[in-house]
Amino acid sequence: MITYRATLDVPRELVCHLSLLLTAERRRLGTRTGSRALTCFEQVVMGLRWFRDRTDRAALGRDHGISRATAYRYIDEVIGVLADQAPDLHQALRHATDAGLTHLILDGIIIATDRCAEKTTSVKGEPIDLWYSGKARHHGGNIQALSAPCGLPLWVSDVEPGSVHDLTAAREHVLGALYKAAAGGLPTLADSGYDGAGIGILTPVKQPADGRPLDIDTRTRNALLRALRCLGERGFALLTQRWRTLQRITASPSRIGDIIKAALVLTHFEHSYPT
């Protein structure tokens, strides 16, 4: 067995803040002082190692002198405490309005998971893997997100199976509120996958089916829209590149929503997002 030293590259203020949240959670649950194997600070460090580096939970347990089952339970507790702090859709829209944002960016991503055998029936009546995304060509969960014009993610949805189309997921989780926001002067930019989403959701005009070229005004509009919307890709990059556990989830895919909400809270803390 070889031991070595490592540095966890997160602000100490973040660890202290999350430790206070865990302390409050233990108090809420009535946990007796000294009855846990790890202090709140140690538990947070273990959880952030999992978020930051995708460290195997069993290895984390060995590093911290606890069992595999306890490591799983402690990390799930960190996820839950963080996810509870994530802004809901109405809070995110209120923040966008108060901050005077000119527009929002709507985008979706498939968070990769291990293969899941759960089946469903396609629109063509054929049996398919519920969590398989034909667009991404791997199993995963569909997450919708709203970002600020600069690309900072403001809100993420609950997870939908990977077989669910972006537009369908958006209708389920976000479009209704975006219509109201658009009526108040806050439009949303999206890619062509959201074509037909409704009033206030601005998407590029597609090429006519008969092959006719688009006029210059429409091409210019499309170019401007894409130039503004592409910054939304930064939102998912901030989440998945900083918190590498999102690059592939080995837990139940139903947990993806809580995990990405927890990562959103961590991102907001590091970017001084006002709560």
What Rg, from alpha-carbon coordinates, does the chain have? 21
Name residues whose C-beta falls within 8 Å of residue 96's C-beta, 6 or more positions apart in sequence.
104, 146, 148, 154, 181, 186
Element (H, E) at 267: helix 256-270
Average pLDDT over residues 232-257: 93
Q: How many whole angstroms separate alpha carbon 45 and alpha carbon 22?
A: 12
Q: pLDDT band at 273, cuts 50/70/90? A: low
121-136 confidence digits (pLDDT tens) = 877 777 888 999 988 8
| Average pLDDT of the chain to the nearest whole number | 92
Q: pLDDT band at 219, cuts 50/70/90? A: very high
Average pLDDT over residues 258-270: 96
Name residues whose C-beta falls within 8 Å of residue 76's C-beta, 6 or more positions apart in sequence.
none
Lowest mean pLDDT of 52-56, 86-90, 126-130, 162-166, name the range: 126-130
Question: In the prediction, which pLDDT does 97 show?
Answer: 95
Nearest in space to 201 (alpha carbons), one of 107, 264, 135? 107
Q: pLDDT band at 275, cuts 50/70/90? A: very low
Report helix, strand or coil for 1: coil
* Residues 104, 188 contacting (CB under 8 angstroms): yes
Average pLDDT over residues 52-79: 93
Q: How many whole angstroms separate alpha carbon 232 and alpha carbon 28?
A: 38
